[in-house]
Amino acid sequence: MRATLATVVTLLALSSCGGEPSSNLEPQIPLEPCRLSGFGRLAECGEVKVFENRDTKMGRKIALRVVRLPARGSSAQPDPLFLLAGGPGQAASEAFVPMLGLFGDIGLQRDLVMVDQRGSGSSAPLDCAMPDELAEQFRDGGLARIATRCRAGLTADPDQYTTPISADDLDDVRAALGYNQINLYGASYGTRLALVYAARHASQVRSLILDGVAPPDMMLPLSFAGDGQRALDLILDRCEANESCRRAFPKLATTLAELLERLAAKPAQISLRHPTTGEPLSFELTHKAFTQAIRDIMYSSELVALLPLTISQAAQGDFSGFVALVALFADSAQEGMSLGLTLSVLCREDVGLISDAQIAEHTAHTFLGRSIVDDFREACEAWRVAGAPEGVADPVHSEAPTLVLSGEMDPATPPRWADRALQHLPKGRHVVVPTMGHGVAIRGCVPRLIQELLETPTALKSMDVSCAADIQAPQFFIDAAGPAH
């Protein structure tokens, strides 16, 4: 887990705010100077307390962690940019620290606000103990085992950790900080939270930036198999179209297919050195564990640059590169992630809505098959939450100017989901970044496009976004020395 903020302040509780803008432009809560680990500037930190059960307004309260970076310029604008993290389960105050430097120009004119969603970070986190051993991450059935142990020790009510409830929390924070209107940037699952906030608190939304759209009607993780297959096919085609990659890894698609057949017939017995500790490491690698790890690797355009080499080596019996990539991805993905929040949101809003017929339809003829959906179904049985809230999967209509961002080769939230959401966003504009994976806000000219939207939301439709077409993913490695020269 990443380091938490040094200073946290106990603050007054706020009741739920309705749809009318607040007239109070001064914060109603005290904010104290604090530092974010890995970030040089001082921030302001505080808490907003809300009832865990917002309907009854009784019982347990949750302290929502709030971090604000005040605008540094002399002409600060009154509408801040709220940064909503993904997962669900990431802590905004931790996940966005590496991006804050790229949002520097935006931070001159606007406050940047990060709120740890209830159940994440320092906002009553629903943390579950994750396996320390790398070998454990390759064992089938791990998600259900973690969910069973975590649910047994849970003191919180997991039914109270949903996207609509978190959206209302967010509006309490807006009011507590004294903002009339806000702009929202959502990444991955954070796009769903931004959309639901826009549906429930429309008059408070000035503009939206949605990076890797996961709309409410997505029914995660049903789409993962099909979207993962599409991403893999595009990566293999990209290698085939690149002379140096094609020459280094001829017939890569066939090589991968044969490797998957061997793993399906018989798991591989892996025995090597741990990529970071150097300690001996032995485990059984199943087809299921291998394919799910390949999907994880495809999230990152940097890791994808190593994928053809990794597949080629694994086909020859050398899984050291594969294990190193898995370890790298796992370290970054699990850091700051509250798995209990992931389960509470997805089990209530998505998994329970998925039918057997849909699984058969959407997972057939994919390298992943139905394994991820089955894993979540089993974990959700152990997590034991109520059924889906009424209307939770309804599409969101918003009149707010909305910049929608997609990576062309995203295995989780590819452009088709953005196009689906845009059917209900009449003032939306879609920008697809070629060859990129999951999350593109920090790529190339995209931070400038975000800044232009925030400066003049009404000009979004006429904005020149052609620079995004020039952004390219890293070149494929053809050996340990790197790309061809």
CA distance 4 to 200: 30
Q: By three-state DSSP, how is residue 234 classified?
A: helix
**DSSP 8-state secondary structure symbol assigned to residue 387:** -
Min mean pLDDT across 224-228, 375-379, 390-394 is at 390-394
Note whether 382 and 182 are within 8 A (CB). Answer: no
> Range with the lowest mean pLDDT among 16-30, 78-92, 344-358?
16-30
Residue indicated by tokens 């935006």: 106
Query: What is the C-alpha to C-alpha distance for residues 78 and 72, in angstroms, rounded to an integer?
Result: 13
Task: Please compute, for residue 139, the number of CA atoms within 13 A of its CA located in the half-sphere on the CB side.
Answer: 14
User: What is the average pLDDT across 99-122?
Assistant: 92
Other CB atoms closer than 10 Å to residue 192's CB: what's the count?
Answer: 30
Rounded Cα–Cα distance for residues 289 and 307 (Å): 16
pLDDT, tens digit, for every residue of 245-299?
Answer: 999 999 999 999 999 999 999 999 999 988 888 888 899 999 999 999 999 999 9
Q: What is the pLDDT of residue 334?
A: 58
pLDDT at res. 12: 23
The count of other CB atoms within 10 Å of the CB of residue 129 is 10
Q: Where in the chain is the domain with CATH 3.40.50.1820?
A: 32-131+159-219+392-470
Query: Per residue in 29-76, pLDDT tens?
Result: 899 999 998 888 899 999 999 999 999 999 999 999 999 999 998 888
Q: Cis bond leading into 221, ω under 30°? A: yes
pLDDT of residue 20: 33
Interatomic CA distance for residues 372 and 351, integer angstroms = 11
Residue 334: other Cβ atoms inside 10 A: 14
Residue-level pLDDT at 485: 65
Give rounded-to-5 percent helix, strand, coil for the chain.
40, 15, 40
Report the share of the chain in percent with pLDDT over 70: 93
- Write the DSSP string, 81-128: EEEE--TTTB-HHHHTGGGTTTTHHHHHHS-EEEE--TTBTTBS----
Burial zone of 342 (CB within 10 Å; 0-12 exposed, 13-18 middle, 19+ buried): buried
Higher-scoring residue by pLDDT: 19, 200: 200
H-type helices in 110-204, by residue range? 142-152, 163-176, 189-200
Q: Tell me which DSSP letter residue 411 carries.
A: S
Give residue-wise pLDDT tens across range 162-186: 999 999 999 999 999 999 999 999 9
Question: Does position 10 have pLDDT exceeding 70, yes or no?
Answer: no
Percent above pLDDT 90 for the chain: 81
Would the pLDDT of 16 be above 90?
no
List CB contacts of 444: < 8 A, sequence separation 6 or more. Answer: 433, 467, 468, 470, 471
Sequence-ordered list of residues with C-beta below 8 angstroms from that of 411, at least 6 positions apart, any chain: 224, 227, 228, 230, 231, 232, 295, 298, 299, 437, 438
Average pLDDT of the segment spanning 407-414: 97
pLDDT digits (tens, 9 = 90+) for 318-335: 999 999 998 887 766 556
Q: Which of 335, 329, 333, 320 is nearest to 274 (CA)?
A: 320
For residue range 221-249, list pLDDT tens digits in order: 999 999 999 999 999 999 999 999 999 99
Mean pLDDT of the chain: 91
Residue 209 pairs in a beta bridge with: 185, 403
* 422: nearest Cα among 168, 208, 203: 208
d(CA 312, CA 236): 12
Residue type, 114: M
Question: Residue type at 293?
Answer: A
Q: Are strands 205-211 and 182-187 parallel, antiparallel or unpaired?
A: parallel
- pLDDT grade, residue 132 (50/70/90)? confident
Mean local confidence (pLDDT), 206-222 = 97
| Residue 89 phi, psi (nearest 5) | 135, -15
How many residues would you count in the chain?
485
Inter-axis angle of helices 163-176 and 189-200, nearest 10: 70
Q: Is 345 exposed, middle or buried (0-12, 13-18, 19+ CB in 10 A)?
A: buried
Confidence of residue 454 (pLDDT cuts 50, 70, 90): very high
Place of tokens 């909503």: 84
User: Any idea which architecture 32-131+159-219+392-470 has in CATH?
Assistant: 3-Layer(aba) Sandwich (3.40)
* Cβ neighbours around 58 below 10 Å, total: 9
Take residue 29 and report the two structure tokens written for it: 């809560």
Model confidence at 15, pLDDT cuts 50, 70, 90, reads very low
324-368 pLDDT, tens digit per residue, is 998 887 766 556 789 999 999 999 999 999 999 999 999 999 999
